Amino acid sequence: MKFRSRLVVNLDHLAYNINQIKKLSPQSNILFMIKADGYGHGMIPIGRFAITELGIREFGCATLGEALKLREELNELEFDIYVFSDIQLELLENADIYLKRRIMPVISNVSELDYILHTPEFKNFPICLKFNTGMNRLGLDVNDTPLIVNKLKQHGRSSVHHLISHYANASSDMNDHKINVIQRSSFEEIKKFFRDSGITLERTSQSNSGAIEQKTGLHEISGDTHLRPGLMVYGPSSINADVTGHFKGKLVSTLETYILRVFEVKKGEVVGYNSTPCPEDGLIAILAIGYGDGFFNRYSGAHLYHKGFEGVIIGRVSMDMTHIFFPKEAVNHIKAHEIFTIWGGVPGDLQKFSSETKTIPYELFCALLPRVPRVYRLN
């Protein structure tokens, strides 16, 4: 672990973002997506704060392992956990975990549903169903809706705990994008079929971050009981720049490192692996972060900022260090041992860095390895 490179997580900003989501739809419940170690921010501290300070009672994970860790680390707290993708229900030992640890698998195919319905131990277990309404990833086939309803009835089931779908193009306009319109309509038809067939839907949700930002899937509009925010909880927007949004979040994290060394260079002098030449006279600052920390070589060419000067990552990022080239005007201003903020210091710097590196904020957050400690701040 490093001691001067760190991801500083501002819990006040997390609280602000959750409260903004609640204001968008006061009647909706929040199913907080906390997978991939809280999008790289630390699942356990984020989860504990969300429960004890923000009143969150439902979380979404991707894997059973994530859910089990959340349950074990926060075992004194009351909350529900959903496993959305890697449920591994067919393994006997995993089925036992679901039953004993109050973890709910999200069923995405008929064979998984059959397992639940035919296993006596799951007789009173809540059923969560996910339908593929057009994303063509995981999900029950819409055409199998009558079959699924019949199976539920044959086994004495009169309710579904949570009916779920997921938008594929929520970053685009929810009313103009053809697939968004089809998915919304399809989910409404599925809900209607269940209800017309006498199956109670205790909870329903379709809207992820981009849809929520566009006020789609709110309880007041669609009647869905839940929203499933992911990236937006951590600050960045999930919608395209040309789409109108109704959410302005605060970036939850700041990635900091420090400067190991600075030195002046002349035009043509080379630095680092592969001996990259400097484009002009200037200053090199060597940062104590590299691909061993989840800060990758493909980030070369992206711009970073320090003390009002714009620098650029030059040459190859190495395992433990990164070269930043600054213009000669920065000489005598930028010093060794100073804290250097990679993102979270200048408004919009994360989005710009993401664009320049041809990544998305999800990737930047999740890529950071455990060698970069997470530090939590409040007030």
Structure confidence by residue, pLDDT tens digits, 50-72: 999 999 999 999 999 999 999 99
3-class state of residue 103 by DSSP: strand
Domains of the chain: which residue ranges? 12-234, 253-377
Residue 3: its pLDDT value, please? 75
Q: Which CATH superfamily is domain 253-377 in?
A: Lyase, Ornithine Decarboxylase; Chain A, domain 1 (2.40.37.10)
Q: Which two tokens stand for residue 299?
A: 């980030």
Q: Which of 86-90, 143-147, 272-276, 285-289 has the lowest mean pLDDT?
A: 86-90
The pLDDT > 90 percentage for the chain reads: 95
Strand partners, 162: 128
pLDDT at 1 over 70: no
Q: Decide the pairing of beta strands 29-30 and 6-10.
A: unpaired
- What is the tens place of the pLDDT at every residue in 194-208? 999 999 999 999 999
Q: Is 98 known to be catalytic?
A: no
Q: Taking residues 330-348, what's their average pLDDT? A: 95
Full-prediction pTM beyond 0.85?
Answer: yes
For 96-118, what is each residue's pLDDT tens digit? 899 999 999 999 999 999 999 99
The residue assigned the tokens 């039953």 is 99
Tell whether the model's pLDDT for residue 143 goes beyond 70: yes
Alpha-carbon span 321 to 315, nearest angstrom: 11
Rounded Cα–Cα distance for residues 77 and 71 (Å): 9
Catalytic residue among 39, 82, 115, 273: 273
The helix (H) or strand (E) run that includes residue 81 is strand 80-86
- Collapsed DSSP state (helix, strand, coil) of residue 30: strand
CATH, domain range 12-234: 3.20.20.10
Question: For residue 146, how far is the Cα from the chain centroid?
Answer: 33
* Mean pLDDT to the nearest integer, 231-243: 95
**252 is written with which tokens?**
């939850």
What pLDDT is recorded for position 346? 87
